[in-house]
Chains A and B, each alone.
Chain A
Amino acid sequence: MSEAKGEAKKYVPKVEMQWLGKVLTYGDEDLLFKFNHKALPPLLMHKSVLPPEDRAGTSRELLAAVASECMVEWMIMSLKRTNIPIEEFNTVTEAKMGVDETGRAVVESCDTIVNLKVKDEKLEEAKMILEHLLEVGCLMSRSIERGVKLNYKYNWLNEQNP
């Protein structure tokens, strides 16, 4: 059934990943991610051009991006709403590794350093806004710290009818 006129299409966060192992010039570890968001262009993970020892770490980089992006968006919106113009803003996030109780590798923490500059006369207000933000967290920090359930299901394509 078609959508009613004027009814907004419900946005569903969804990422499709395509394996490029059979595509000319790509290799077994090359992946193409397609996001369901207009602000996110496709992401090509082209590992095959790298020596094997340099290929690990891409997931951790993406996790670090998630950890910073959500909070940064939240900060920018809030400073804007408070009429605090941003003079400079950048962040550095490091995904720190550890091991779990079974001895397997895990990401233990994502540590973000926010470098921010506002006009001196706005500094006190900006600090209050950021204190509030860091106290309550953002969608991603709350979700990840609480423990996001990751569910996987597989379909054997060779068992499906042609």
Chain B
Amino acid sequence: MAKLFDKYEFPEGLYYSKDHMWAKIEDGRVRVGLTDFGQQMAGKILMVRPRPIGTAVAQGKMLGTMETGKWVGPLRAPVSGAILEFNSTLKTVGTADIVNKDPYGKGWMFYVEPSNLQEDLKNLMTNTRQIEGWLREEMKKMKVGG
């Protein structure tokens, strides 16, 4: 069941990075997307530009870039591994805002073949109190009202 912190949804069973990405382990692969907080901070997402399929990316490094009306920013890998698949819906202006509408569902971004999963998971958050504390700090940094 999804946990709400203020108005931000963080479903249980996912791992969260401090770069506003989520990771879900599915049959040895990792599905990755932008958190609800991340998409709300970004505003309307116009387009995602992925690195090529097969690119090996270390945890915290860029899987691709996303464009909003105001800036182009990074999508950082929550786990190390090779990019297996990209959600092609996000390539097009007009459909990429599915990330805003359904960040944990149809708005998923990448599948990654993990290369260092057990170690990487230690750097991600699952614990409710940890997520809440981190989120409060982020909101302070971004001066977002709770």
A and B form one complex: yes
A74 on interface, CB distance cutoff 8 Å: yes
B72 on interface, CB distance cutoff 8 Å: yes
Name which of B4-12, B63-71, B105-113, B126-134 contacts chain A: B63-71
The interface on chain A, measured as residues whose beta carbon lies within 8 A of the other chain's beta carbons, has a size of: 14
Name which of A22-30, A48-56, A75-83, A107-115 contacts chain B: A75-83
What is the CB-to-nearest-CB distance from A104 to chain B, in angstroms, rounded to a whole number?
Answer: 36
- Contact (Cβ within 8 A) A77 B62: no
Give Cα distance in the complex from A113 to B69, angstroms.
24
Give Cα distance in the complex from A132 to B75, angstroms.
13
Of all chain B residues, the one with the shortest Cβ separation from A82 is: B74
Near A by CB (< 8 A), chain B positions 1-49 give 46-47, 49
Q: Pick the residue among B47, B51, B65, B70 that contacts A129 (CB under 8 A).
A: B65
Near B by CB (< 8 A), chain A positions 125-143 give 125, 128-129, 131-133, 135-136
Q: Pick the residue among B46, B49, B62 that contacts A125 (CB under 8 A).
A: B62
Set of chain A residues within 8 Å of B54, measured between Cβ atoms: none
Of all chain A residues, the one with the shortest Cβ separation from B73 is: A81
Set of chain A residues within 8 Å of B70, measured between Cβ atoms: 77
What is the CB-to-nearest-CB distance from B74 to chain A, in angstroms, rounded to a whole number?
Answer: 5
- Contact (Cβ within 8 A) B74 A136: no
Near A by CB (< 8 A), chain B positions 77-135 give none
Set of chain A residues within 8 Å of B64, measured between Cβ atoms: 128
What is the CB-to-nearest-CB distance from A83 to chain B, in angstroms, rounded to a whole number?
Answer: 8
Q: Pick the residue among A74, A77, A128 that contacts B65 (CB under 8 A).
A: A128
Return the 10 tightest CB-CB contacts between A and B, nearest first.
A78-B72, A132-B65, A77-B71, A78-B71, A81-B71, A81-B73, A132-B72, A132-B49, A82-B74, A133-B72
A–B Cβ pairs within 8 angstroms, 9 of them: A78-B71, A81-B71, A81-B73, A128-B74, A129-B72, A132-B65, A132-B67, A133-B72, A136-B46
**6 extra A-B contacts, CB within 8 A, seeds A82-B73, A128-B51:** A80-B71, A125-B74, A128-B64, A128-B65, A131-B49, A136-B67
